Amino acid sequence: MSANVRNLVEGQWVDSVTGRTLERRNPADERDLVSVFPESDAKDAEAAVSGVLAGWHEWAARSPEQRGAVLERAAAVLEGQRASLVEELVREEGKTRAEATMEVSRTPMNLRFYAGEALRTTGQTIPSSDGSLLFTSRGPVGVVAAITPWNFPLNIPSRKLGPALAAGNGVVFKPSEVTPLMGNRLVEALLEAGVPAGAIAVLHGGAEVSKALVADDRLDAITFTGSTAVGESIHSVVRASQRTQLEMGGKNPMVVLEDADLDRAATLIAKGAFGLSGQACTGTSRVLVHGDVHDALVERIAARAAALRVGNGLTDGVDGGPQATARQKENVVGYIRRALDDGARLVAGGPDAPDGEDLARGHFVRPTVFTDVDPGSALANEEVFGPVLAVLRVGSLDEAIQLAGATRFGLSAGIVTDDLGRALRFAREVPAGLVKINQTTTGQSMNAPFGGLKDSSTQTSKEQAGEAMMAFYTADKTVYLSA
């Protein structure tokens, strides 16, 4: 059964002014039509921004307690829809049922966390030289554009819309064209909970509407999560006074030292590399393993990769779903073929589609592992965003740290070792915004800051947690008061 997805503009669910529509089909089975949604353009974007500019002040005027209560109710609405949301998420994005259940469960938790942040966002009192009252206050920054990716189509939008609304802002939301239905489900819950329709807009479509949205200089802030290429294009057009928060790609290394428990290391690596079908910005993409344990570790990783079963996420016993789109599959397979041409040694998986008539209708890629990877090759340096792992041999922690930082990215990095001193040295020296010790490179706590270094982020403001996050969505005023 397919859904009719529409834009939300000036408080009304409407089609695009273009009259054009796009289809989203199940990436595990292209026969399954999930939704039909608008192909919006610049006129739609202009109307959406105008509508929120005219309507968001009612929301801003509500007290922090009232805004927090709305987010609490939205969390409850989503929890009541858990079963249907899990099935829709699997069909639309391609996750397994277990992965979708985790995301659907996490999203209400996010909204409740941000509901609390509405009350914790405070100013300060400052000693004055003349005895007057000197203090700062914090209010909403204005109207925020939120542009989100397809790989976590509920969780990541909730990490942007939640704090933006908690602070009293208006929001123009552009979900990925790959996952329009999940975007609408989140907004529907917010509206049902009490967010005024004039305070939020939703735009569907492709690059044209995104470009029009970020070029609109009436917006006060832009928050984006996605590829580095798109993030850089956004950064090139925004005006200096527009707040911009960009979280982008990664080429995340896992270092394995000679003292590591190799079974533990292989399990962590397989989870980080092949979970979510490799479609996570923090996924493990490179393994930098000490030469003394290289062969034994590779054998363990290859065995785990070969044992994973890919298929439709609604099928019991499936470990990994498809790539989200046909284009994404072609891109991943292209990297596999290029690695073979570059002389890397294939030890698991490969470019050929997995066996099975049912799998021929979807965008499936086998979990793939390469060794003997040239450090200068595309596989060792470029973000693949699929279940493909490059294993490189190193001779020391020094070399591992050097190679870990050799790419343009600096998002997540991990190390497996029993040596606390070397682990802490790695944490200090590796150029990554997120460091995981004896854990997967994926996964974060909602109350911890999240963001990368180098070309993985603008580094203007952290996502997710606490005061630093809310600072992005609020504007400070300094007030001098004399009686």
Per the DSSP assignment, residues forming a β-bridge with 463 are 450
What token pair was written down for 286? Answer: 């490179």
> Which CATH number do you get for residue 388?
3.40.309.10
**Cα gap 306→387, rounded to integer Å:** 12
- Give per-residue pLDDT as tens, 260-297: 999 999 999 999 999 999 999 999 999 999 999 999 99
**Does 303 lie in the same domain as 192?**
no
> Which CATH number do you get for residue 46?
3.40.605.10
| Measured torsion, CA atoms of residues 371, 375, 380, 381, in degrees rounded to the nearest 10 | 180
Catalytic annotation on 281?
Answer: yes
Residue 238: its pLDDT value, please? 81
**Cα gap 206→175, rounded to integer Å:** 9
Residue 449: its pLDDT value, please? 87
Q: What is the percent of the chain where pLDDT is above 70?
A: 100
Instruction: Write the CB contacts of 147 (distance below 8 Å, at least 6 apart in sequence).
Output: 174, 210, 213, 214, 222, 223, 224, 225, 226, 234
Residue 340: its pLDDT value, please? 98
| Measured torsion, CA atoms of residues 401, 403, 407, 412, in degrees rounded to the nearest 10 | -40
Q: Which pLDDT band, with edges at 50, 70 and 90, does 144 fall under?
A: very high
**Does 243 lie in the same domain as 260?**
no
CA atoms within 13 A of residue 297's CA, in its CB half-sphere: 33
Per-residue pLDDT, averaged over 286-315, amounts to 98
Supply the mean pLDDT for the chain.
Answer: 96
Strand order in 3-4's β-sheet? 3-4, 33-38, 21-25
**Does 461 lie in the same domain as 397?**
no
CA atoms within 13 A of residue 71's CA, in its CB half-sphere: 32
Assess if residue 445 is contained within a domain.
no
- Give per-residue pLDDT as tens, 448-470: 889 999 999 987 788 877 677 89
Q: How many domains does the chain have?
A: 2
Q: Residue 240: is its pLDDT beyond 80?
A: no
Assess if residue 326 is contained within a domain.
yes
**Choosing from 90, 181, 230, 281, which is the catalytic residue?**
281
Residue 358: its pLDDT value, please? 85
Assess if residue 442 is contained within a domain.
no
- Give per-residue pLDDT as tens, 369-381: 999 999 999 999 9
Q: Residue 8: is its pLDDT beyond 90?
A: yes
Residue 339: its pLDDT value, please? 98
Residue 105: its pLDDT value, please? 98
Assess if residue 172 is contained within a domain.
yes
Assess if residue 235 is contained within a domain.
yes
Instruction: Provide the residue range defining the domain that includes 206.
Output: 3-248+457-481
Q: Which pLDDT band, with edges at 50, 70 and 90, does 404 fall under?
A: very high
**Does 114 lie in the same domain as 195?**
yes
**Does 194 lie in the same domain as 177?**
yes
User: Helices 97-120 and 64-80 meet at what angle, rounded to 10?
Assistant: 170
**Does 258 lie in the same domain as 243?**
no
Assess if residue 88 is contained within a domain.
yes
**Does 316 lie in the same domain as 229?**
no
CA atoms within 13 A of residue 152's CA, in its CB half-sphere: 23
Residue 236: its pLDDT value, please? 80
Per-residue pLDDT, averaged over 114-131, amounts to 92
CB 351 within 8 A of CB 357: no
Per-residue pLDDT, averaged over 161-187, amounts to 98
Assess if residue 131 is contained within a domain.
yes
- Give per-residue pLDDT as tens, 91-122: 999 999 999 999 999 999 999 999 999 999 88
Residue 478: its pLDDT value, please? 95
Per the DSSP assignment, residues forming a β-bridge with 7 are 14
Residue 240 DSSP one-character state = T
Say which residue, 209 or 357, is predicted with more confidence: 209
**Does 202 lie in the same domain as 151?**
yes
**Does 260 lie in the same domain as 140?**
no
Q: Is 381 exposed, middle or buried (0-12, 13-18, 19+ CB in 10 A)?
A: middle
CA 114 to chain CA centroid, nearest Å: 17
**Cα gap 86→96, rounded to integer Å:** 9
**Does 155 lie in the same domain as 62?**
yes
What token pair was written down for 129? Answer: 């030289």
Assess if residue 444 is contained within a domain.
no
Angle at alpha carbon of residue 214, lines to 213 and 218, rounded to 5°: 80
Say which residue, 450 or 172, is predicted with more confidence: 172
**Does 210 lie in the same domain as 292?**
no
State how far the alpha carbon of 113 is from the alpha carbons of 147, 439, 446, in Å. Answer: 21, 24, 8
**Does 311 lie in the same domain as 419?**
yes
Per-residue pLDDT, averaged over 148-164, amounts to 97
Q: Which pLDDT band, with edges at 50, 70 and 90, does 233 fall under?
A: confident
Q: Residue 357: is its pLDDT beyond 90?
A: no
